[in-house]
Chain A
Amino acid sequence: MTQKRKPRVLLADDELHIRALMKAVIKSINGEIVAEATTGQDAVDLFNEHKPDLMLLDINMPIKTGEEALEEVIRKYPNALVIMLTSLSDAKSVEKCMKLGAANFIRKDTPIDKMKDIIKQTWREFRLS
């Protein structure tokens, strides 16, 4: 990611091991984690507070799902760059999220090199469009 300042990333997932993994992924591509959310509501509130360059958003979260959080954030910030974090069984939700305005999605069991590629590519496409 070619920016003079580090891209600011908001991480939203209710599972600790996913947050740890995505933190390492973001750091390895020179990003900065500005906040971590564990519920959909948290995700919306923290987005309002920090206005990050990128949000990684889990689909399955308590107290407001990723889908609902995405809808709210996109409504208020139509240019928000959001990548959904998904499991295999989320296929239908993923479709819906892409229609709502998510920029891309990453399956949680993707190898880390591929994860890095997806994030970098989505960032590039988004910034250039």
Chain B
Amino acid sequence: MSVEKLKILVVDDDLFFRKMLPKKLSSKGFIFDTAENGVEALEKLHANPDVELIISDMAMPEMNGLELIKKIRSTGKDVPFIFLTASDQLNTAIEAMTCGASDYLLKDENILRTLSISVDKVLEKHQLKKSNQKLLQDLAAKNKDLEKSNKQLLKLNELKNKFLGMAAHDLRSPLASIRGLSEFLLSEIFGYLTEEQKEYINIINKTSDEMLTLVNDLLDVSVIESGNLDIKPLKTSLISLIKDRIKLYRMSAEKKDTRINFIPEDIPEIFFDPSKIAQVIDNLVSNSVKFSPPGSAIYIHADVDKAMVKVSIRDEGPGISEEEQSRLFGEFQRLSARPTAGEKSTGLGLAIVKKIIDAHHGILEVNSRLGVGSTFSFKLPISND
């Protein structure tokens, strides 16, 4: 809003002031209107509601300055007022201040200077108030927009999860069939194969198995993301579970000349979801086997750490840098280390592990040094949950 457009109403029964003030203040680029008394001022205000400032005398016939400001304030208009008073009107002027006048000035020889300064101050304050209002309005509008797009995003996310779940679900059994049928072919019970045929069918078999793992991971992620992670806690032995799961990995570890050592301490039975924690153990153990160089060892330890049971899995692999450690549990993260026997990685495993441990109100930690190895540990609460 440019200053040029600002309107000022001068109210004074003295013609001299009505003529002089606009002339003396005109260099500031205001637009002036005048009124002889309070009644005319009200009419003028009604006709021009965009008046930005009223400079008014105090003592006037028909309606004085104080009555005028009271009348205007009672209609809810907050247009600024500057009063010009004679020295014997000071009490009235002070009362006018309590009615929300911005300033009062004595009609003395300095009146033009003091008035000029006062006008600038009053208008500046008024401008700030107005731009503040506008900002608040803009903010409210932007907030509304944000709320709307937020709702939309949540809806889209839900749709994405649903779609992901459906796609993964439908891909599962065809992939399992490809894997199964190729396995039968490789067993040669339906006929002997040439070396070349064996090679290609082996690839079909391996690839479909890897895809099946990815599909299962995607399904897990979609279930977890849509908040449907169902934890069914049972009070059972974590140590037995770990022993069982390790059995599955002993063979693939042996193939890589890697030893798995399980050294548990005495820990109590606790509440946890066995199938989900089995997934956690599978993931962490298979990772350590994956990244272990030949001839190394994996140490699995279980003990009690304050009010929690702690399981840690340490490998002698390449280790993980600090930067990568911060990305570790995010989705679709593939870090720089490569599996040491060409195994595949979906980048989802640790994200799923984190979500499962979180759902158990547990803690997941990683400790690693480049060139030395990594220790992944998870803690589960002992108290009944």
Interface residues, chain A, with chain B CB atoms under 8 Å away: 15, 17-18, 20-21, 24-25, 27-28, 87-89, 108-112, 115
A20-B173 CB under 8 A given contacts A28-B189, A112-B184:
no
Q: Does B183 contact A (CB under 8 A)?
A: yes
**Known contacts being A24-B190, A28-B189, is A109 close to B173, with CB within 8 Å?**
yes
Answer whether residue B149 sits at the interface, using C-beta atoms and an 8 A cutoff: no
The stretch from B42-50, B112-120, B174-182 touching chain A is B174-182
**Given A24-B184, A28-B184, A112-B183, do A87 and B177 touch, yes or no (CB 8 Å)?**
no
Q: Which 10 A-B pairs have the closest CB atoms?
A: A109-B176, A17-B177, A108-B173, A112-B180, A24-B184, A21-B177, A21-B180, A109-B172, A17-B174, A109-B173
Quick one: given A17-B174, A24-B190, A28-B189, are A111 and B169 in contact (CB under 8 Å)? no
A89 to B187, CA, bound (A): 31
B187 / chain A contacts, CB cutoff of 8 Å? 28
**A residues less than 8 Å from B93 (CB atoms):** none
Q: Which chain B residues border A27 with CB–CB below 8 Å?
A: 189-190
Pairs across A and B, CB under 8 Å, 9 listed? A21-B177, A21-B180, A24-B190, A27-B189, A88-B219, A89-B169, A109-B172, A109-B212, A112-B184
Q: Is there an interface contact between B169 and A88, defined as CB atoms closer than 8 Å?
A: yes
Report the bound CA distance from A88 to B225 in whole Å. 18
**From A20, A87, A89, contact of B181 by CB (8 A):** A20
Interface residues, chain B, CB within 8 Å of chain A? Answer: 169, 172-181, 183-184, 187, 189-190, 212, 219
Interface of A: prevailing SS = helix
Residue pair B190, A17 in contact (C-beta under 8 Å): no
A18 in contact with B173 given A24-B180, A111-B180 (CB within 8 Å): yes
Q: How far is the CA of A109 from the CA of B173 in the complex (A)?
A: 5
With A28-B189, A112-B184 already in contact, the answer to whether A20 and B172 are too (CB < 8 A) is: no
The distance from the CB of A17 to the nearest CB of chain B, in whole angstroms, is 4
Which residue of chain B has its CB nearest to the CB of A112? B180
If A112-B184, A115-B180 are given as contacts, then 7 extra A-B residue pairs at C-beta distance below 8 Å, sorted by A number, are: A24-B190, A28-B184, A87-B173, A88-B172, A109-B176, A112-B180, A112-B183
Q: Which residue of A lies closest to B215 (CB)?
A: A109
Min CB gap A40→B, angstroms: 18
Least CB distance, B211 to chain A, in whole angstroms: 12
Residues of A within 8 A of B175 (CB): 109
The complex places the Cα of A88 from the Cα of B176 at a distance, in Å, of: 13
Chain A contacts for B177, CB-based, 8 A: 17-18, 20-21, 108
Residue of A nearest to B173 (CB): A108
Chain B residues, Cβ within 8 Å of A110: 176
Known: A20-B177, A21-B177. A87 touches B172 (CB 8 A): yes
